[in-house]
């Protein structure tokens, strides 16, 4: 009976899952990450090793010294931020939707969508305007630069214009305007 209890206790402890760090997925702050700091040191050593191959004051040495400075600045920005590094010493982006990681993914993602929408809206607006001219095909090939710049300058308000067109029903084409191939 005692051996059965000991076996059950042993089985219980061995079958328990290991503690999972779901909050940060096993990542550590880059400033506290030993592999991250080793990467910095090895990058600097490689660049300093290349410096020894050139004469003092030569253009390659000046360029390498600038590269060393930029490398230290880049690693410094990572270690001064809230970015988390993995076991390999590289920064990881956390894309779980928490606002504590908004700077890493959410804000750049929204900025990307805004700029993409701006580009698309400006292109759509240009094609709509030149489509009503006497020779639209030519103006699609040879872009009217002053008109395009004028549209680009006002394109930053594209979300407002898009919502107005959607609300008025002008944003989407009607079914009879869409070509469907016969099947």
Confidence class for position 21, pLDDT limits 50, 70, 90:
very low
pLDDT band at 17 (very low <50, low <70, confident <90, very high): very low
Q: pLDDT-derived band of residue 83, with 50, 70 and 90 as boundaries?
A: confident
pLDDT of 168: 92
- Structure token pair of residue 162: 């898009």
CATH fold label, 100-171:
Helicase, Ruva Protein; domain 3 (1.10.8)
Q: What average pLDDT does this structure show over 45-55?
A: 90
> Which among 21-25, 93-97, 154-158 has the top mean pLDDT?
154-158
User: Domain-by-domain residue ranges, the chain?
Assistant: 24-92, 100-171
């Amino acid at each position: 009976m005692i051996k059965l209890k000991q076996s059950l206790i042993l089985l219980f402890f061995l079958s328990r899952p290991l503690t999972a760090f779901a909050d940060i997925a096993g990542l550590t702050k880059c400033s506290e990450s030993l592999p991250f700091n080793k990467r910095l040191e090895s990058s600097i050593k490689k660049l300093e090793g290349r410096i020894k191959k050139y004469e003092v004051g030569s253009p390659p040495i000046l360029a390498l010294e600038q590269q060393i400075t930029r490398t230290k600045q880049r690693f410094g920005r990572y270690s001064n931020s809230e970015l988390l590094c993995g076991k390999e010493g590289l920064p990881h982006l956390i894309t779980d939707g928490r606002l504590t990681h908004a700077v890493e993914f959410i804000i750049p993602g929204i900025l990307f969508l805004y700029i993409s929408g701006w580009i698309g809206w400006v292109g759509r607006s240009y094609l709509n305007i030149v489509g009503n001219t006497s020779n639209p095909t030519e103006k699609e090939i040879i872009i009217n630069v002053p008109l395009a710049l004028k549209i680009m300058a006002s394109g930053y308000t594209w979300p407002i214009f898009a919502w107005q067109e959607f609300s008025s029903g002008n944003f989407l084409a009607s079914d009879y305007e869409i070509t469907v191939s016969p099947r």
